[in-house]
Amino acid sequence: MAGAPARALPTWFLFLAPVLIWASTWHVILYQLDSTVPALTSVGWRFLLAAAMLAGLARWQGLSLKLPRNAHGYALATGVIQYAGNYWSIYEAERFVPSGLVAVLFCLMVFMNALAMWLIWRQPVGRRFLVASSGAVLGVALVFWPEIAATGARPNAALGLGLSFFAVVVACIGGLFTLVLTRRGLPLVPVLAWSMGYGALFLLLMSVVLGHGLRFDTRWTYVASLVYLAAFGSVIAFTLYYRLAERKGPAQAALIGVMVPVLALVVSAVLEGWQATPLAMGGMALCLVSLFVATRPQG
């Protein structure tokens, strides 16, 4: 799937597949947290395995893993800030604020990416897209409104908000760094392999420095969830996400992050017993309609 030529995959598939995969990872991550392995270390193992898979995929596609020397600087920065700093910050932020608030803040990537597109590549973004995207973000906020409203009662909520916003910013920057490299003609899969590899090594080094060591859980639930997060949540989803960003621009690709938490709650309703409220149902409907409008071709 991830190895298919970009032109052979329709745009709707490049959008829907990462949405379905990342929505499912919200549940799968629970099996990672239900272990003695610190989250920092687990994320390191995840991206180390993903980097190895991407390297194997590159070889299978006949692509060289060699990158120009100056490209390694971008790959290192991407690994440290996006695959290490971003994910680490999210795990830490959710200790202080609800995951729903983190999801809503991540929707801001749509507007950050749109601004970056204009600043860096002078690519305009239509008013309809911005208005419809705002409606989608509002829909997500309504879905998670009970959690958001209770945030102020939590201790260290300001710290959680700061970590969440930091995660959003570095995710945006890391994504742009990846697109800078692919726009120079470098193949995506080797770029992702190096970036995730650098991020994994940074995470595992930090795990050792902080005294966590390099723990691993051999239970089948931990191993199976780790393989799923690496293969589907990292290799396939990120490859398709960047294919979409290359084709439609990073602002439209970021709409994936708006849809993911909504669909993740559907998964939660099936597997974890989450019950939708009328407000949540209205928010989901607003989000879906807004996304439909935002992704329609310009007339």
Q: What is the mean pLDDT of each run of 10 residues along the chain (299 residues)?
A: 60 93 86 87 96 97 94 95 89 75 78 79 78 87 80 75 87 91 95 97 96 94 96 96 91 86 79 78 90 76
Residue 26 lies in a domain: yes
Residues 100, 96: Cα–Cα separation, whole Å: 12
Residue 13 within a domain: no
Domains in the chain, number? 1
Domain-located, residue 5: no
Does residue 1 lie in a domain region?
no
- pLDDT of amino acid 265: 78
Domain extent at residue 185: 18-295
Q: What pLDDT is stored for residue 45 in this prediction?
A: 97
Residue 4's pLDDT is: 47
Find, among 33, 36, 35, 47, the residue nearest to 99 by Cα.
Answer: 33
Q: How far apart are the first and last CA of the chain?
A: 31
Asked, for residue 2, whether it belongs to a domain, the answer is no
Tell me the per-residue pLDDT of 204-243, one tens digit each, with 9 for 90 and over: 999 999 999 999 999 999 999 999 999 999 999 999 999 9
Q: Is residue 12 part of a domain?
A: no
